[in-house]
A and B are shown apart, each in its own frame.
Chain A
Amino acid sequence: MTKPATLVLTGYGINCEEETAFAFNTAGSSSKIIHINDLIENKNILNEFQILVFPGGFSYGDDTGSGKALANRMKNNLFEEIKRFIERDTLTLGICNGFQVLVNLGLLPLLDGFDGTAQTALEYNKSFRYQCRWVDVMVEKDSPSIFTKNIERMHIPVAHGEGNFYAPEGTIDKIESMNLVSMRYIKSDGTRAQTEFPFNPNGSMNDIASICSPDGRILGMMPHPERGMFFTQRDDWTLLKEKYIREGKDIPVYSDGITLFNNAVNYFK
């Protein structure tokens, strides 16, 4: 099998491209970090890739609202190419600021095809403060998302100022009825966070942490799987390590986040 090729976007304040590419490579993809301007200059290179990633960061400093300016830049220059990319049998992932870009670009939830218009929003956190913390999310079993297959829950970090998912009434109903919610914030006992801080870190509607497109090939998520792919990235690893040592077990190498990258790569096997 040839390794699926992953294009990880960078430029204009995207800042998680290196660890995100590292995650895809660890999972068996061959990934390339490409600057948006190089992509605009050479649009056809998109044809060489199976996976497109909008990593986390602060594109354009979040000015005028997170993800908006970068979404505009994509729309102004790459609309047709993106349309063709998602029509192929490809995967697209947006993490954190990348999720905000996907929403503003109208690539999620993609209820009525790709026309470049936002249908939902990621608003300021209810605390009106940037939150960097670890949370628990459950994965919706019935979600068509390719990325979250066989995952039940994840312990994973978030870091954002605008992650408060909002959709108008008609839209949220469709999102829920089509099972497009792929992750929700939960308490440590597994029950829904019910928008309670800090379990739901941003006040997100229906505790939504992640949504996907109807065909499951596009996923946007506020949590950062690339920051929760190794055991030693976890906030509780020194406790778990002590536990495993006392139980005579090995110290693991990986953590929950890696499965998401493995799923993406395995889709092309």
Chain B
Amino acid sequence: MPQPSIAKFRIEVFYKKDDPRGAAVGDKFNRLGYSIDKVYLADNYLLDIDVNENDIKSAAETLIQPVTQNYSINNPYNPENFDYCIEIGFLPGVTDNISHTVRESLEDFFKKKLDNEKSVFYTTCYFFKGNLNPDIIYSIGKELYNPLIHRIKILSKSEYISNGGMGYEIPVVHIAEDSGVDLVNLSIDDESMQILGREGIANSDGTRRGPLALDLLSMNIIKEYFHNKEKREPTDIELESIAQTWSEHCKHTIFAAAIDDDTPGGIYKSYIREATARIRKEKGDKDFCVSVFTDNSGGIDFDEDFIISDKVETHNSPSALDPFGGAITGIVGVNRDSIGFGMGAKPVANRFGFCFADPEDEVPVYKNKSEDSKLLSPRRIMEGVVHGVNAGGNTSGIPTPQGFIYFDKRYKGKPLVFVGTIGLMPKKTAGRSSVEKNAMDGDNIIVVGGRVGKDGIHGATFSSEALSSGSPATAVQIGDPITQKKLSDAIVKEARDAGLYNSITDNGAGGLSCSVAEMAKECGGFVVDLENIPLKYHGLSPWQVWVSESQERMTLSVPDSKTDEFISLMNKRGVEATIIGKFTSSGRGVVRYKNNEIFNLDLDFLHDGLPKRNLYTEKPEAEIKFAAFREPEDLNEVFHNMLSRLNICSFEYISSQYDHEVQGGSVTKPLQGKGRVNSNVSVIRPLLSSDRGVVLSQGLYPSYSDIDTYWMAACSIDTAIRNAVSAGASIDHLAILDNFCWCDSNNPFRLWQLKNAAKACYDFAVAYGTPYISGKDSMFNDFKGYDEDFNEINISIPPTLLISSLGVMKDITKAVTIDFKFPGDLIYLVGITGDETGGSEYNAYIGEKEQNEKFTGTNIPKVNAGLSKRIYKAMEKAIDERLAASCISIERGGLAVAAAKSAIAGMLGCEIKLSKINNNDIQRNDILLYSESQGRFLVSVNPDNKGKFEQIFSGLPVHMIGTVKPGAVFTIEGIAGKKIINTDIPEIDYNYKKKLKKY
């Protein structure tokens, strides 16, 4: 065992007056049921640097705010009154952004370089005073740290004093020197081959390196290739590289496989790509797609000169392990899908979407049969994920206007974390098309940004596996938004327009092994010298360097003639740039290490050798029950309860902590009206010199999957489109993105659901003429583990399809918000309300109320695209003529929830009469109020515009159901003329906002 490393100096920074963070930490624990009187904090910088005492004193002075803070050097802070001290720092090798900044600042201060690996470390101390004992302080510690990334030390006051504080130990990485390169013997029997594919290459001590996630079929093809073509066994780096390239994450093997005998092209080609191809053909010269599916993002026309791009990713498995790290890595990672789109698009907005279990569910779930393997609670996951996107998005200076949260208990094993980035790029940069990338034979391969460590190894293959106790903690990473911001600015604001490179791509899943090989497709080959790749710390094996997913890196193809200029520009911007090899046209990928060739593969085999599978689906037998219940008597109470449900209530606390104003382009906000109600659509102005806007929204209905995934997908598409239209988008300039998050995808029944959802994706995209431009899938969102009594459980998410929409509107001054504007305005319900409560939030509510278990029901909403398309064109015209004072797209929670949102947002009451719905054959008020029929809007209209508005909708289902009222009274009259809801704005506002307020 290596000796622990010790720092020379420990600088502790603490407040002279009350530390505002202490109060916040204390409040949090008191809310959780602890009894805390006082919390003090100290920020500690452990420095192992060679300077004298005077110099360290001057350096310490630069680390404090002299008005409010003080410091001590090698002399422990001793707040007047505490019982225990908890110190939390990072484990060796975990990204530590604060230390990074401090090291840079000290280098600038001392004007000398400090050791990257060993010089600066950061920890936080919490000093607690309260009703505490060793057990209690231990459980507080557990709440504060995550064992996958943090070190923790707890001392009582007497120990703290007798020890002389928390000590000087620093988490320097110690790795036994790298093992070099191993050959892997593939002359083994099928069973051993399967183990190799599932558990990975064996180390000399018998342990395995972690999943290759290759099945026997793939393993045998690899064996045949090496034995017959290369006449040798593969090296470990070759096998790891093939595993990365062929992973579910990179190759989308399920979406690429033939499905049944009727769909040999598979889901992606036959349903998604084909839909786009057909739409583009039908649109002819009105086609607005610029780049679809092939690049890191998809891109459409913004105007004559600019392209707007979009990409939505998921980061589910890492977020389950470390919610903060997973989410920040996710958002910062998807930003690189914009920076790596074409020659580099500037990120102009982020999207988010979180699917969690109920944050109040504290029943433990375990990964294995030990108490220590407890999964983080849904609350911890929610808090960490919300904070991760906050830290990633805000710090990067990218607005995060649009998002959603959705709850279901089946997200308890794996949460879903959707993150997306919209980018803006001129069509031409440096005199050439920005979307055509061409790495050229002879170009230098240059890596820019962060350094390589062990983090993220096996991330790509990991996402192909269910989450269980074998999950490698190396999949956990923490994003570094400032390193990336420097890189992003240097690329998209400078190097791109100077034409300094021929191609660029992101280092995401599979690290360099995927990015270099992917770019090499453009020219035909590569040679990399592995020892040139900058490392965070020594001791990585070559295969680890090659597949590591360390973040904040991009790979570029730079011609010799531009290389000096490029590297010098990067250095001036504080961005590390390193030549690691050359692109070639040899048809081979070659990696050398210390003058030995350790990797030499036919690129065609690497990219296309993956065996194509044929998957078969099976229709499930299970019958779904009709949800039979009577109309509740007190619809007032139902209304208030519905508004405070997790899937309907306000998530203002998230929207207001995500900067949605940065870059100055916010047009319609995530929180709308005086009443600050979450809108399901946002409009941004990505180019301040243009009046054009970009409309962002989404749709998803996981609860419908339990009934029928075909209509689930149809409703998701309809909602994503309709929401965009409600704010001013035109379906003639609207693209969509698909994100499938599925479960147990080797199961024919799940595949049957998948195929049906994909069919609807084709049918409804084509019907509306809204092409897919990008998509992603995550097929194994399952958890296998143990419940609170250590009985085995499997938790699979409900099949979840997120459809995101991206539209362009010509004139942002025509954008519409959801809030009622003036008393006297007429309220119109547009569209047909059917008896369609199957899978609705209302059924879920009634079931929970009556039987403690959600009702699903059978009557799922269906989409009449022909009619809806006419309605959407009419709505577009009404908005274009400024006839809609407010407009809200009716989705989860139906008419009643939409009316409540418009009323709270406007802080104006209203009077609605259900009897005014024309041609209504539904006899139940509750169904009219909460049915989630698609294709509907609730619009308020200036009475002066009544004629014009009705004229536009003539021949379409439009119902004048009420008026906006002065004052606060909110009433809905039932079919029979009786007031069934009679309340006021303060009360509905309270119920709408109370649920998540405390977070």
Please give the residue numbers on chain A whose beta carbons come within 8 Å of chain B beta carbons, in ascending order. 10-16, 18-19, 22-23, 35, 37-38, 41, 56-58, 60-65, 68-69, 72-73, 76-77, 104, 117-121, 123-126, 128-133, 157, 159, 164, 166-168, 224, 226-227, 229-230, 232-233, 235-236, 238-239, 241-243, 245-246, 251
Residues of B contacting A60 in the complex (Cβ-Cβ under 8 angstroms)? 101, 104-105, 482
Q: Are A11 and B668 also in contact (CB < 8 A) when A61-B101, A121-B67, A242-B885 are? A: no
Q: Are A58 and B394 also in contact (CB < 8 A) when A13-B485, A22-B664, A242-B821 are? A: yes
Interface-lining segment among B179-187, B811-819, B980-988: B811-819
Residues of A contacting B816 in the complex (Cβ-Cβ under 8 angstroms)? 238
- 27 A-B Cβ contacts within 8 A? A12-B574, A13-B482, A15-B397, A16-B397, A16-B664, A58-B481, A60-B104, A63-B98, A64-B101, A68-B62, A72-B105, A72-B109, A76-B109, A77-B108, A104-B65, A117-B66, A119-B67, A126-B20, A130-B659, A159-B394, A227-B661, A235-B671, A238-B672, A239-B819, A239-B821, A242-B821, A246-B822
Q: Nearest A residue to B691 by beta-carbon distance? A: A232
Give the contacting residue for B573; candidates A11, A56, A124; CB below 8 A: A11
Q: Nearest A residue to B882 by beta-carbon distance? A: A245
Residues of A contacting B667 in the complex (Cβ-Cβ under 8 angstroms)? 232-233
Which B residues from 472 to 490 make CB contacts under 8 A with A?
Answer: 481-482, 485-486, 489
Q: Are A15 and B662 also in contact (CB < 8 A) when A60-B101, A130-B394, A241-B813 are? A: yes
Q: Is A238 a contact partner of B68 (Cβ separation < 8 A)? A: no
Q: Nearest A residue to B657 by beta-carbon distance? A: A130
For residue B656, CB closer than 8 A to chain A, the reply is yes
Q: Is B21 a contact partner of A128 (Cβ separation < 8 A)? A: yes
For residue B663, CB closer than 8 A to chain A, the reply is yes
For residue B97, CB closer than 8 A to chain A, the reply is yes
B695 CB to nearest A CB, Å:
14
Cα distance, A62 to B667, chains bound together (Å): 27
Q: Is B65 a contact partner of A121 (Cβ separation < 8 A)? A: yes
Closest 7 CB pairs of A and B: A15-B397, A128-B24, A19-B664, A63-B101, A61-B482, A124-B20, A238-B817
A117 CB to nearest B CB, Å:
7
Give the contacting residue for A121; candidates B68, B657, B944; CB below 8 A: B68
Cα distance, A37 to B574, chains bound together (Å): 8
Cα distance, A2 to B191, chains bound together (Å): 81
B225 CB to nearest A CB, Å:
46
A113 CB to nearest B CB, Å:
17
Which B residues from 555 to 589 make CB contacts under 8 A with A?
Answer: 572-574
Cα distance, A162 to B869, chains bound together (Å): 48
Interface string of B622-666 (1 = CB under 8 A from A): 000000000000000000000000000000010011111111111
Cα distance, A10 to B488, chains bound together (Å): 13
Q: Are A76 and B21 also in contact (CB < 8 A) when A65-B65, A131-B656 are? A: no
Interface string of B871-892 (1 = CB under 8 A from A): 0000000000010011000000
Cα distance, A154 to B489, chains bound together (Å): 32
Residues of B contacting A72 in the complex (Cβ-Cβ under 8 angstroms)? 62, 105, 108-109
Cα distance, A63 to B120, chains bound together (Å): 14
Q: Is B662 a contact partner of A159 (Cβ separation < 8 A)? A: yes
Q: Are A61 and B481 also in contact (CB < 8 A) when A11-B486, A37-B574 are? A: yes
With A22-B689, A77-B108, A128-B23 given, name 4 new contacts (CB 8 A). Answer: A57-B397, A58-B485, A224-B661, A239-B821
Give the contacting residue for A128; candidates B20, B66, B661; CB below 8 A: B20
For residue B745, CB closer than 8 A to chain A, the reply is no
B58 CB to nearest A CB, Å:
11
For residue B395, CB closer than 8 A to chain A, the reply is yes
A234 CB to nearest B CB, Å:
9
Residues of A contacting B489 in the complex (Cβ-Cβ under 8 angstroms)? 10-11
Please give the residue numbers on chain B whose beta carbons come within 8 Å of chain A beta carbons, in ascending order. 13, 20-21, 23-24, 43, 62-63, 65-69, 97-98, 100-102, 104-105, 108-109, 390, 394-397, 481-482, 485-486, 489, 572-574, 653, 656-669, 671-674, 685, 688-689, 812-813, 815-817, 819, 821-822, 882, 885-886, 942, 944
Residues of A contacting B394 in the complex (Cβ-Cβ under 8 angstroms)? 58, 130, 159
Cα distance, A35 to B486, chains bound together (Å): 11
Q: Is B67 a contact partner of A132 (Cβ separation < 8 A)? A: no
Residues of A contacting B97 in the complex (Cβ-Cβ under 8 angstroms)? 61, 63
Q: Is A132 a contact partner of B664 (Cβ separation < 8 A)? A: no
A70 CB to nearest B CB, Å:
9
Q: Is B395 a contact partner of A58 (Cβ separation < 8 A)? A: yes
Q: Is A232 a contact partner of B485 (Cβ separation < 8 A)? A: no
B59 CB to nearest A CB, Å:
10
Q: Is A233 a contact partner of B664 (Cβ separation < 8 A)? A: yes
Give the contacting residue for B67; candidates A41, A168, A246; CB below 8 A: A168
A83 CB to nearest B CB, Å:
19
Give the contacting residue for B661; candidates A117, A157, A232; CB below 8 A: A157
Cα distance, A76 to B573, chains bound together (Å): 18
B125 CB to nearest A CB, Å:
15
Q: Is A130 a contact partner of B390 (Cβ separation < 8 A)? A: yes
Cα distance, A112 to B220, chains bound together (Å): 78
Residues of A contacting B669 in the complex (Cβ-Cβ under 8 angstroms)? 235
Q: Is A239 a contact partner of B664 (Cβ separation < 8 A)? A: no
Cα distance, A129 to B942, chains bound together (Å): 40
Q: Are A239 and B98 also in contact (CB < 8 A) when A57-B397, A131-B656 are? A: no
Q: Is A58 a contact partner of B664 (Cβ separation < 8 A)? A: no
Residues of B contacting A236 in the complex (Cβ-Cβ under 8 angstroms)? 674
Q: Are A38 and B572 also in contact (CB < 8 A) when A132-B661, A232-B685 are? A: yes
Residues of A contacting B662 in the complex (Cβ-Cβ under 8 angstroms)? 15-16, 56, 159, 227
Give the contacting residue for A118; candidates B65, B102, B108, B390; CB below 8 A: B65
Residues of A contacting B665 in the complex (Cβ-Cβ under 8 angstroms)? 19
Residues of A contacting B885 in the complex (Cβ-Cβ under 8 angstroms)? 242
Cα distance, A169 to B331, chains bound together (Å): 43
Q: Is A35 a contact partner of B68 (Cβ separation < 8 A)? A: no
Residues of B contacting A245 in the complex (Cβ-Cβ under 8 angstroms)? 882
Which of A57, A130, A239 has its CB near the most chain B CB atoms (within 10 A)?
A239
Cα distance, A239 to B666, chains bound together (Å): 16
Residues of B contacting A118 in the complex (Cβ-Cβ under 8 angstroms)? 65-67
Which of A57, A68, A132, A168 has its CB near the most chain B CB atoms (within 10 A)?
A132
Q: Are A69 and B101 also in contact (CB < 8 A) when A123-B20, A128-B21 are? A: yes
A2 CB to nearest B CB, Å:
23
Cα distance, A168 to B813, chains bound together (Å): 46
Cα distance, A61 to B489, chains bound together (Å): 15
Cα distance, A56 to B662, chains bound together (Å): 9
Q: Nearest B residue to A120 by beta-carbon distance? A: B67
Which of A63, A76, A104 has its CB near the most chain B CB atoms (within 10 A)?
A63
Q: Are A15 and B942 also in contact (CB < 8 A) when A132-B656, A164-B20 are? A: no
